[in-house]
């Protein structure tokens, strides 16, 4: 299985897949102080896998929290789908209806062009108040950046969550680690990272072992409140696009529960 966002290899079978980073090489970490740890906990995240990187701190394997986010706090809420499916939003994208632009670094292989168009198509097919379009010039809301190395086994790293009503500033992927030209697989990774950028947390954040295997691991506290979506199942969802890990080559288009969650927020 592969994990989304800043994914690390977990034994022979697991890898973390990624969210954002703007550098092409691994960066030197900054210090994790007790104050930083307290701020991360206050935002509802666990600190067991907290890592310091250039630009901030990574939690849940792939979500970047900048010093500004930590210092300012977030007006977040929980979105709960059933007993095991959990989505967390923080500072949602506002100004709806709204179109967000997406750009792709020219460093990516051609398969990534097809894949990003497929990821965009999936969101637009959900008929949300958020619309996505790819641009080839100018500054995009969601730039997809190329990296040759984010650390051993890391597929990518997200730019975090929305801030000030705007989406997180895109994400970075590492093609050499993804090591695939499968359009639907790459589109699944991209759509997942786009989900973080507009405010979604891992579906199985309460227990990452559900999609990643291994021992049970809660990504963060759930004491920030919850909103139950009517009409969704109480059982865990094995196919959500926001599960923390995904198998190599697996395609996860939005399922019915995903569309319910997307429409609830947007």
52-83: pLDDT as tens digits: 887 788 876 777 787 877 776 655 555 665 55
* Angstrom distance (rounded) from CA 241 to CA 197: 14
* φ/ψ (deg, to 5) at 212: -100, -15
Cα Rg of the chain (Å, integer)? 17
What pLDDT is stored for residue 224 in this prediction? 36
What pLDDT is stored for residue 190 in this prediction?
95
Cis omega (within 30 of 0) for bond into 210: no
How high is the pLDDT of residue 214? 58
| pLDDT for 23 | 37
Distance CA 127, CA 266 (A): 9
Which residue is it, tokens 């579906």? 203
Say what the pLDDT of residue 26 is.
Answer: 37
Q: Quick check: 126 and 262 in contact, CB under 8 A?
A: yes
Q: What pLDDT, on a 0 to 100 scale, did the predictor assign at position 197?
A: 92
Residue 97: C-alpha distances to residues 117, 130, 190 (Å): 21, 6, 22
pLDDT at 154: 72
Tell me, what's the pLDDT at 157? 80
Residues of the chain with pLDDT under 70: 1-30, 44, 60, 72-90, 152-153, 205-211, 213-236
Query: What's this model's pTM, rounded to 2 decimal places?
Result: 0.77
Q: Which of 130, 6, 141, 3 is nearest to 65 (CA)?
A: 6
- Please say whether the beta carbons of 212 and 245 come within 8 A: yes
């Amino acid at each position: 299985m592969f994990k989304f966002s800043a994914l690390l290899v977990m034994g022979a079978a697991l890898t973390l897949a990624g969210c954002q980073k703007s550098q092409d090489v691994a960066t030197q970490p900054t210090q994790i102080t007790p104050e930083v740890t307290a701020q991360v906990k206050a935002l509802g995240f666990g600190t067991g896998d907290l890592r310091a990187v250039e630009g901030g701190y990574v939690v849940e394997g792939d979500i970047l929290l900048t010093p500004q986010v930590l210092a300012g706090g977030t007006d977040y809420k929980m979105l709960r789908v059933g007993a095991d499916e959990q989505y967390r939003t923080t500072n949602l994208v506002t100004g709806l209806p709204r179109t967000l632009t997406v750009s792709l670094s020219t460093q990516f292989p051609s398969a990534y062009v097809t894949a990003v168009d497929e990821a965009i198509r999936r969101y637009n097919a959900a008929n949300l108040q958020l619309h996505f379009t790819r641009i080839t010039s100018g500054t995009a809301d969601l730039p997809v950046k190329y990296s040759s190395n984010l650390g051993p086994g890391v597929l990518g790293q997200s730019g975090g969550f929305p801030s000030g009503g705007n989406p997180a500033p895109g994400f970075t992927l590492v093609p050499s680690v993804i090591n695939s030209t499968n359009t639907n697989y790459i589109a699944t990774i991209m759509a997942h990272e786009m989900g973080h950028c507009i405010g979604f947390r891992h579906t199985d954040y309460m227990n990452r072992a559900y999609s990643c295997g291994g021992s049970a691991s809660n990504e963060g506290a759930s004491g920030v409140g919850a909103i139950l979506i009517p009409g969704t199942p109480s059982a865990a969802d094995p196919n959500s696009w926001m599960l923390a890990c995904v198998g190599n080559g697996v395609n996860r288009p939005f399922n019915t529960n995903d569309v319910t969650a997307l429409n609830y927020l947007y």
